[in-house]
């Protein structure tokens, strides 16, 4: 392939103020349209390039930081500001932090997770009455908080759950509204600052009260390493928050899809089907709908050399809905996972890939699979106005408007 030093093509000539406005209005449609029109390597602005081909996605994500990094020095303190967390670290510091957490996410611990998930579903279903209309995202958020905190911190979140949920909601509002500088006293910014203060207080209590009872949780592992209080707090905050909204979103999308596909709903009790359905839901509605990296050396993609300092965007939303890798890509077809995966390994990356791939991927998939399977075995959730459901692309791809009427089977 000949390599050119010209910028890749893109909407608006790849130069971006108009693009920024179009992107803010409809990010999912904008990214999908850009790839459809300009191909797999698209300039979105002078320093922003979207890569849609699985070959490039694999090269970017599997890189160990020689050519691309997750966070450059300049952008390390993101809007959510937990600078000491593994997720916001690079290099040797990141490796040490990732190694410290790895044992808490091993598959041997997932039996405990399943237990917490089943118990959580039993309680949730017990709190519903037959014929009641529920806000599915709200219910799934409470379940994900309960199960997530039990798995990560070894305890139910209790009243601290409110502070956590509040902080996540504030971050979602911030990231789904057009960006304004953080120092502006907008309602969204004020909300976020207040929520993060409440979150700090809740985490301080959780850490102070924590007792290691040998369960091998992430919080046990963190405290055993004797880091500073701020380091434990930042790590715990990002673990609880990254596992919470994404998993609640995945669960809600799956229940929405099952509501629209009764034939799939009826198969949820079959061996392997719930897992396939969970994978298919995060294919169609990937909670992490865009992932980014920054080049630290010139990087070649699609015959172009992208200079150091280019922000690379990879979008599971765009690539997961590409007919080249997923025939009948727009349809919910869990069976495709029973017959093997997509034709290209990196065409499916809801949890990223490579060394910085999601540490909670197995936990999240198992949680979604078990909770959805248990729910389908116990109740029927009849969708209310499914045609009004929309994705809200914030930091995670949130489902808006998923409501259902609970139908409990008659006893006897
Ligand atoms: C459906 C649920 C989830 C989705 C879709 C998801 C998605 C992702 C993705 C795409 C990445 C990689 C980001 C990148 O490469 O820039 C990631 C990283 C990460 N995820 Fe998840 N995640 C989920 C659940 C969880 C859970 C349950 C936890 C923990 C309890 C978790 C903790 C993390 C952490 C700590 C990282 C950073 C890893 C690192 O930097 O080395 N995630 N996640």
User: How far is ligand 1, taken at its centre, from the CA of residue 315, in Å?
Assistant: 15
Query: What is the residue range of 291's domain?
Result: 11-407
By alpha-carbon position, which residue is closest to atom 18 of ligand 1?
358
Tell whether 6 is covered by a domain.
no
Higher-scoring residue by pLDDT: 172, 99 = 99
β-sheet with 133-135: strand ranges across: 133-135, 403-407, 380-384
- The finding on whether 293 has its CB within 6 A of some atom of ligand 1 is no
- The finding on whether 319 has its CB within 6 A of some atom of ligand 1 is no
Measured in Å, how far apart are the chain's first and last C-alpha atoms? 69
CATH classification at residue 59: 1.10.630.10
DSSP 55: H
- The finding on whether 288 has its CB within 6 A of some atom of ligand 1 is yes
Q: What is the position in ligand 1's atom list of the atom closest to the CA of 250?
A: 1
Mean pLDDT of the chain: 90
Predicted confidence (pLDDT) per residue in 332-366, tens digit:
999 999 988 898 999 999 999 999 999 999 999 99
**Predicted pLDDT at 77:** 47
User: How far is ligand 1, taken at its centre, from the CA of residue 238, in Å?
Assistant: 10
- The finding on whether 100 has its CB within 6 A of some atom of ligand 1 is no
- The finding on whether 315 has its CB within 6 A of some atom of ligand 1 is no
**Predicted pLDDT at 177:** 64
Average pLDDT (89-98) is 93
Please answer whether residues 286 and 187 qualify as being in contact, where contact means their C-beta atoms are separated by less than 8 angstroms: no
- Percent of the chain scoring above 90 in pLDDT: 71
Tell whether 2 is covered by a domain.
no
Higher-scoring residue by pLDDT: 237, 4 = 237
- The finding on whether 350 has its CB within 6 A of some atom of ligand 1 is yes
- The finding on whether 356 has its CB within 6 A of some atom of ligand 1 is yes
In which band, very low, low, confident or very high, does the pLDDT at 280 lie, cut at 50, 70 and 90?
very high
Cα 207 to Cα 204: distance, rounded to the nearest angstrom: 5
Cα 306 to Cα 57: distance, rounded to the nearest angstrom: 15
Tell whether 254 is covered by a domain.
yes
List the beta bridge partners of residue 405.
133, 382
Tell whether 1 is covered by a domain.
no
Of 288, 380, 272, 287, give the one whose Cα is nearest residue 334.
Answer: 272
Tell whether 412 is covered by a domain.
no
Tell whether 364 is covered by a domain.
yes
Q: What is the DSSP string of 63-108?
A: --SSSEESS-GGG-S-TT--TTSGGG--HHHHHHHHHHHGGGGSGG
Tell whether 251 is covered by a domain.
yes
Number of folded domains in the chain?
A: 1
């Amino acid at each position: 392939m000949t390599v050119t030093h010209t910028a890749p093509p893109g909407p608006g000539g790849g130069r971006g103020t108009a693009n920024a406005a179009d992107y803010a209005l409809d990010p999912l449609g904008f990214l999908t349209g850009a790839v459809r029109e300009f191909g797999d390597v698209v300039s979105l602005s002078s320093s922003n390039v979207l890569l849609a081909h699985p070959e490039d996605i694999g090269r970017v994500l599997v890189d160990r930081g020689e050519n691309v990094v997750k966070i450059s020095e300049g952008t390390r303190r993101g809007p959510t500001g937990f600078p000491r967390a593994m997720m916001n670290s690079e290099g040797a510091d990141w490796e040490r932090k990732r190694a410290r957490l790895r044992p808490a996410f091993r598959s041997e611990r997932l039996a405990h997770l399943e237990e917490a998930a089943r118990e959580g579903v039993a309680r949730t279903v017990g709190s519903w009455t037959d014929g009641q209309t529920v806000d599915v995202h709200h219910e799934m958020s409470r379940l994900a908080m309960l199960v997530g905190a039990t798995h990560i911190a070894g305890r139910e979140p209790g009243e601290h759950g409110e502070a956590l949920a509040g902080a996540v909601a504030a971050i979602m509002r911030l990231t789904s509204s057009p960006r304004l500088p953080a120092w502006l006293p907008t309602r969204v910014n004020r909300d976020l600052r207040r929520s993060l203060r409440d979150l700090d207080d809740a985490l301080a209590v959780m850490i102070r009260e924590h007792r290691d009872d040998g369960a091998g949780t992430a919080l046990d592992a963190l405290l055993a390493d004797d880091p500073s209080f701020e380091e434990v707090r930042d790590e715990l905050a990002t673990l609880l928050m990254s596992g919470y909204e994404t998993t609640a979103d995945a669960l809600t999308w799956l229940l929405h899809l099952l509501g629209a596909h009764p034939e799939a709903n009826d198969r949820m009790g079959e061996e392997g089907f719930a897992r396939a359905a969970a994978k298919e839901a995060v294919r169609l509605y990937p909670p992490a709908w865009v992932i980014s990296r920054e080049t630290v050396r010139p990087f070649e993609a699609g015959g172009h050399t992208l200079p150091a300092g280019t922000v690379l965007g990879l979008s599971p939303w765009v690539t997961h809905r590409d007919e080249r890798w997923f025939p009948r890509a727009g349809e919910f077809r869990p069976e495709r996972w029973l017959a093997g995966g997509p034709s290209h390994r990196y065409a499916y990356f809801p949890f990223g890939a490579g060394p910085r791939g999601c540490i909670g991927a197995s936990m999240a998939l198992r949680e979604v699979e078990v909770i959805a399977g248990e729910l389908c075995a116990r109740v029927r959730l009849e969708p209310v106005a499914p045609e009004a459901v929309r994705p809200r692309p914030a930091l995670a791809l949130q489902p808006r408007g998923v409501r259902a009427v609970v139908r409990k089977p008659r006893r006897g």
